[in-house]
């Protein structure tokens, strides 16, 4: 039986040095009454600012900044949004290995927020 490649979650940068705090990249696009916000590598401040703007539950903010969140889907009917944590394989060319990638997604009536973490 063929074996599947191991998926590993990295905790250090490829150079071996500790990760340096980086400013998250935030992009926003609005058209036809729908807003899409994409925040790459969100920190706590960015996640809290977005939560304030869109009215998210505080536990969802914790899940966004958590490094080891399990895949899940939470439906907040009263607040009118859905929160999903998705995991998928990401190939790292530098070490020729699959790592685990995470995408946090918030879907509201008039917005989509994507928060990719690697």
Give the tokens for residue 103. 């995408």
Q: Residue 34 falls within a domain, yes or no? A: yes
Look up the domain containing 34 and give its range: 25-117
Tell me how crowded residue 51 is: count the other CB atoms within 10 A of its CB.
17
Residue 2 lies in a domain: no
Task: Answer yes or no: is 9 within a domain.
Answer: no
Q: What does the alpha-carbon distance between residue 39 and residue 115 come to, in Å, rounded to a whole number?
A: 5
66 in a domain, yes or no?
A: yes
Q: Does residue 17 lie in a domain region?
A: no
Residue 83 pLDDT more than 50?
A: yes
CATH of the domain at 77: 3.30.460.20
In a domain, 19, yes or no: no
Number of structural domains (the chain) is 1
pTM beyond 0.85: no
Q: Is the model more confident about 88 or about 8? A: 88
């Amino acid at each position: 039986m063929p074996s599947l490649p191991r998926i590993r979650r990295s905790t250090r940068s490829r150079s071996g040095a500790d990760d340096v705090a980086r400013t998250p990249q935030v992009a926003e696009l609005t058209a036809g009454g729908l807003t899409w916000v994409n925040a790459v590598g969100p920190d706590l401040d960015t996640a809290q600012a977005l939560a304030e703007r869109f009215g998210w539950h505080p536990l969802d903010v914790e899940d966004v900044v958590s490094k080891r969140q399990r895949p899940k889907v939470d439906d907040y009917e009263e607040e009118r949004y859905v929160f999903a944590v998705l995991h998928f394989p990401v190939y790292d060319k530098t070490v020729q290995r699959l790592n685990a990638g995470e995408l946090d997604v918030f879907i509201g009536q008039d917005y989509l927020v994507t928060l990719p973490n690697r």
